[in-house]
Amino acid sequence: MTAPLLKVENLRIELTTRDGVAPVIDDLSFELGAGESISFVGESGCGKSMTALGIMGLLPEKVGRVASGSINFAGEELSTATEKRMREIRGNDISMIFQEPMTSLNPVYTVGEQIAEVLRAHQNLSKAAAWASAIELLDAVRIPNAQRRVSDYPFQMSGGQRQRVMIAIALACKPKILIADEPTTALDVTIQAQIFDLLNDMKRQTGAAIIMITHDMGAVAEMAERMIVMYAGRNAEQGPVEQIIERPRHPYSKGLIACVPHIMATLTEERRELTEVAGIVPSLREFGKNRCLFASRCNMVTQKCLDKRPPEVAFEGQQMSACWHAEAV
Amino acid sequence: MASLQSLMMRILYAAILLIAVLVLNFSMMHMAPGDVADTISQSMGGADQELLDQIRADYGLDQPFLVQMGRYIGNVLQFDLGYSFFYNKPVTELILQRLPATLLLVFVAQILALFIGVILGVISARKPNGIASHFVTILALFGYSAPVFWTGILLLIGFSLKIQLFPVAGMRDVTIEGGFWVHFIDVARHMVLPVITLGSIFLALYSRLSRATMMEVLGSDYVRTAKAKGLTERQVVYKHALKNSLSPVITLAGLQFSAVISGAVLVEAVFSWPGLGTLAFQSIIARDTPTILGILFFSALVVIVGNLLTDLALRLVDPRVRSKG
Ligand SMILES: Nc1ncnc2c1ncn2[C@@H]1O[C@H](COP(=O)(O)OP(=O)(O)OP(=O)(O)O)[C@@H](O)[C@H]1O
Ligand code: SF4
Ligand SMILES: [Mg+2]
């Protein structure tokens, strides 16, 4: 097997809050091959965005930091890279699109300027050449009338169109990895399907690997080959998507999958969110405790679960689960 | 074009506003005790009732209120603001003589306060615990609490009398001879203290607001996007964040125009700056009604023009304002 494009090992990200220091990401490891798609699922607040920002080197200033572990991108360690080196990588080798298309674009510059800017930053293009590429990119993300729309301001576009512009910006420099942090959560269901289609097409065209963060199990099934189920900053279960859906090895993933009626249903159909496992995610203060953090919501809980954090148990076909009773799930 | 149309509407509103100011001005002055006839008779060393009536008839002061007002407004619209008996000059001429000095003071103070205020705001927003940030806090405290004339007099004592760095009063030294640059430097030297005095109040205001908006903007989603593109810190702050943080500051600056004018009156009085403020001061004491009315009219004009300029500036920085009008 060739070396993976991105290798995250025992990553620990700490946040300094008023209540003290808490590990918002605790001992997370995963790999991403070139051109591969991996999906992160899990409820709100379990650290999906923090993982993404950690890879980008954009953790909230003075609050978040990589405390230990490594983020290795194509043989280069990112967690200790200089800010200058990270700037070269951001938007060029690794790009990110965000959950909020309505506010993610700068309201006072035209979309063309905002696309051209990233090209100029990384590719030394002239103003005119960057502008021409911006038009091509708008066309590629299927904005009709690209020639004219390129001089529009963000407020003249719909949410779906703005997210397309964000995708154009992210893919402008043909990155090796695209991180999409809940790219469709804020959009209408029909628009969601179009955006997923677009991302799939772009992935095929550019060969970028995708890290897709989502609440939407249907999107996971459609978009990704492998998935990581996260819970309270930790890896709960990891493995090939179909395998996990068919035979989950963690009570949390099992709950998530059970509460989505037709995972494979067409994407235009209204799907329910992942919040239907009874109970709530523990608060950040609980994150570092040496026990299973899912215990308060688990129907298989035993004393062992409360005494010690469960280790990651490997199963056949690259599946692994962090549960004391994984065999019995 | 919707944008041009809305601009025309603005100008129309401004014109209506100006007429309203005229009506109000005239009514107020009319209600105040004492009129031109009194002033003239005083300067002649007293007059009997017959002469007073004669003077009133000559200047149309015996006409009904509305007629007087109508005539006044009509004249003003032809830039005839009446005649000052105190100065023995047409008011328009009097004002146009003094206006440049006031405009110079007001605009230089405003623009410097805006420019320095925004820069201080940006620097302190990036380092909320840095020196610049503490400076803004102290400046704000000082700017809000110290009265203009007090600051002015303090500076005057310190930098004109104790350390003789700047001239004590006026706008230029009549004994100086030389070309344009010699006079330029002379006026600039005279301006330093008045501009600092007038600007300091507004500097406090602008730097605080710009620090607050800048901090908010730096935490916004599009700034995160700019960082995710791999732009340099400078591009993120000065291209993406700064332009977005300008609108509130410009709006505030526009609202401050009338405060700047009234501040200018005090500053001019302290530094004997030969502008409208000093003129207003003198003509109020002399009960020179036409001049006072003229000055009120011109200050209203300056405020209204200032607001229009603010509007244009907002259009320049924010495309949303441009399209909505
Ligand atoms: N700037 C911050 N300061 C302090 N705590 C933060 C900050 N940003 C996020 N957190 C906390 O970190 C935890 C993980 O947040 P994160 O945004 O990674 O969750 P998420 O899985 O992306 O959730 P969502 O699905 O809602 O986006 C949350 O408990 C959140 O409250
Ligand atoms: S370790 Fe125990 S509490 Fe945690 S998920 Fe497994 S069975 Fe449930
Ligand atoms: Mg998130």
In the sheet that holds A6-17, the strands lie side by side as: A20-32, A6-17, A64-73, A76-77
HSE value, Cβ hemisphere, 13 Å, CA-based, for A57: 25
Pocket of ligand 1 contains residue A48 by CB under 6 Å: yes
**Euclidean distance between CA atoms B43 and B64, whole angstroms:** 26
The H or E element that residue A10 is part of is strand A6-17
Ligand closest to Cα of A18 equals: 1
Task: Report how far apart the first and last C-alpha atoms of chain A are (Å, whole number).
Answer: 31
Average pLDDT over residues A258-276: 52
User: What's the whole-number mean pLDDT along residues A201-210?
Assistant: 92
H/E stretch holding B260: helix B257-271
**Which of B229, B238, B314 is the best substitution to test chain A (most A C-beta atoms within 10 A)?**
B229
Q: Supply the pLDDT for residue A274.
A: 45
The secondary element (H helix, E strand) that includes residue B265 is helix B257-271
CA distance B72 to B302: 20
Q: What are phi and psi of A229, to 5 degrees?
A: -95, 120
What are the tokens at B53? 């009536």
User: How far is A155 from A106, CA to CA, in rounded Å?
Assistant: 10
Report residue A1's pLDDT band, with 50, 70 and 90 as the boundaries.
low
Q: How far is CA B151 from CA B201, B263, B293, in A?
A: 10, 12, 29
Give the number of other Cβ atoms within 10 Å of residue A204's Cβ: 10
Whether the per-residue pLDDT at A323 is higher than 60: the answer is yes
Output the CA A275–ligand 2 centroid distance in Å.
Answer: 18
Contact A118, A97 (CB under 8 A): no
Distance from CA of B171 to the nearest CA of A (A): 42
Higher-confidence position of B299 and A178: A178
* Chain-chain contact of A153 with B319 (C-beta, under 8 angstroms): yes
pLDDT, chain B, mean? 85
- pLDDT at B36 (0 to 100): 67
Distance of CA A149 to the CA centre of its chain: 29
> With an 8 Å Cβ cutoff, are B228 and A156 in contact?
no
Q: How far apart are CA B156 and CA A28, in angstroms?
A: 67
SS3 of A114-176: HHHHHHHHHHCCCHHHHHHHHHHHHHHCCCCCHHHHCCCCHHHCCHHHHHHHHHHHHHCCCCC
Higher-confidence residue of A34 and B309: namely: A34
Note the pLDDT of residue A273. Answer: 45
Q: Is the pLDDT of residue B325 over 70?
A: no
Q: Does A107 touch chain B (CB under 8 A)?
A: yes
User: Does the Cβ of A199 fall within 6 Å of ligand 2?
Assistant: no
Can you give the pLDDT at residue A165? Answer: 96
Q: Please work out whether the CB of residue A305 comes within 6 Å of at least one atom of ligand 2.
A: yes
Strands in A319-321's sheet, in edge-to-edge order, are A94-97, A177-181, A209-213, A37-41, A226-231, A234-240, A319-321, A313-315
Residues of B with Cβ-Cβ distance to A103 under 8 angstroms: 220-222
Q: Which residues of B touch A90 (CB under 8 A)?
A: 227-230
Question: Which residue in B231, B232, B320 is closest to A155 by CB distance?
Answer: B320
Q: Which ligand is nearest to the CA of A329?
A: 2
Task: Inform me whether the pLDDT recorded for B224 exceeds 90.
Answer: yes
H/E segment holding residue A30: strand A20-32
Could you report the per-residue pLDDT of A60-92, keeping only the tens digit for each?
A: 988 999 999 999 999 999 999 999 999 999 999
pLDDT of residue B11: 83
Residue B189 Cα to chain centre, angstroms:
20
Work out the pLDDT band at A269, boundaries 50, 70, 90. Answer: very low
* Beta-bridge partners for A37: A210
B320 interfacial to chain A (CB closer than 8 Å): yes
d(CA A56, CA A87): 9
pLDDT digits (tens, 9 = 90+) for B171-205: 777 777 888 888 888 888 888 999 999 998 889 88
Q: Is the pLDDT of residue B27 over 70?
A: yes
Which whole number is the average pLDDT over A302-317?
Answer: 93
| A286: DSSP letter | G
Query: Is some CB atom of chain B closer than 8 A to the CB atom of A73?
Result: no
Best mutation site among A13, A19, A48 for ligand 1, i.e. most ligand atoms within 8 A of its Cβ?
A48
E strands present in chain B: 83-84, 89-90
Which residues on A lie below 8 Å from B318 (Cβ)? 107-108
On the 0-12 / 13-18 / 19+ scale of CB atoms within 10 A, A229 is buried
Report CA-CA distances (Å) from A129 to A110, A133, A205, A321, B183.
16, 6, 21, 50, 50
Query: Is residue B248 classed exposed, middle or buried when 0-12, 13-18 and 19+ CB atoms within 10 A define those classes?
Result: middle
Average pLDDT over residues A190-204: 90
Question: Does the pLDDT of residue B290 top 90, yes or no?
Answer: no
**Which residues of chain A from 117 to 146 reach within 8 Å of chain B, CB to CB?**
117-118, 121-122
pLDDT by residue (tens digit) across B88-124? Answer: 899 999 999 998 999 899 989 999 999 999 999 999 9
**Residues of chain B found within 8 Å of residue A87, distances taken between Cβ atoms:** 230-232
Closest approach of chain B CAs to the CA of A26, in angstroms? Answer: 24
- Rounded to two decimals, the ipTM of the complex is 0.89
Q: How confident is the model at residue B227 (pLDDT cuts 50, 70, 90)?
A: very high
Do residues A329 and A250 touch, judged by C-beta distance below 8 A?
Answer: yes
Q: How far apart are CA A16 and CA A65, in angstroms?
A: 9
Beta strands in B106-232 (DSSP E): none
Give me the residues paired with residue B209 across strands.
Answer: none
pLDDT at position B177, please? Answer: 80
Asked if residue A14 lies in contact with residue A6, where contact means CB atoms within 8 angstroms, the answer is no
Q: B165: pLDDT confidence band, cut at 50, 70 and 90?
A: confident
Residue B324 pLDDT more than 70? no
Chain A residues closer than 8 Å to B232 by CB: 87
Higher pLDDT, A161 or B81: A161
CA distance A329 to B10: 71
Tens digits of per-residue pLDDT, B35-87? 667 767 776 777 777 877 887 777 777 778 888 888 888 888 888 888 887 88
Name the region of A210 (left: φ>0; alpha: ψ -120 to 50; beta: rest): beta
A298 Cβ below 6 A of ligand 2:
yes
**Chain B partners within 8 Å of A104 (Cβ):** 221-222, 224-225
> What share of chain A in percent tops pLDDT 90?
72
The overall average pLDDT reported for chain A is 90
Which is more confident, B305 or A55?
A55
What is the model's pLDDT at position B50?
82
The DSSP-derived string for A220-232 is HHHH-SEEEEEET
Q: Which of these, A226, A217, A166, lies nearest to A35 by C-alpha position?
A: A226
Burial class (CB in 10 A: 0-12, 13-18, 19+), A252: buried
Backbone angles phi, psi at A16, to 5 degrees: -95, 110
Question: What pLDDT band is residue B159 in, cutting at 50, 70 and 90?
Answer: confident
Sequence-distant (≥ 6) Cβ neighbours of residue A256 within 8 angstroms: A41, A217, A229, A274, A277
Ligand 1 proximity of A168 Cβ (cutoff 6 Å): no
Is it the case that residue B228 has pLDDT exceeding 80? yes
Specify whether the CB–CB gap between B317 and B246 falls below 8 A.
Answer: yes
Q: Looking at residue A60, what is its pLDDT?
A: 92
For residue A232, what pLDDT band results from cuts at 50, 70 and 90?
A: very high
- B30-37 long-range Cβ contacts below 8 angstroms, 24+ apart: B30/B65, B30/B68, B30/B69, B34/B287, B35/B61, B35/B289, B36/B61, B36/B85, B36/B289, B36/B290, B37/B61
Cα separation, A112 vs A169, whole angstroms: 10
Tell whether A92 lies on the interface with B, counting CB pairs under 8 A.
yes
A272 pLDDT tier (thresholds 50, 70, 90): very low
Min Cα separation B178/chain A (Å): 48
DSSP-derived secondary structure for B57-125: HHTTTTS-HHHHHHHHHHHHHTT---EETTTTEEHHHHHHHHHHHHHHHHHHHHHHHHHHHHHHHHHHH
Q: pLDDT category, A268, cuts 50, 70, 90?
A: very low
Highest mean predicted confidence (pLDDT) among A137-141, A282-286, B30-34, B259-263: A137-141
Q: What percent of chain B has pLDDT over 90?
A: 24
Identify the pLDDT of residue A266: 46
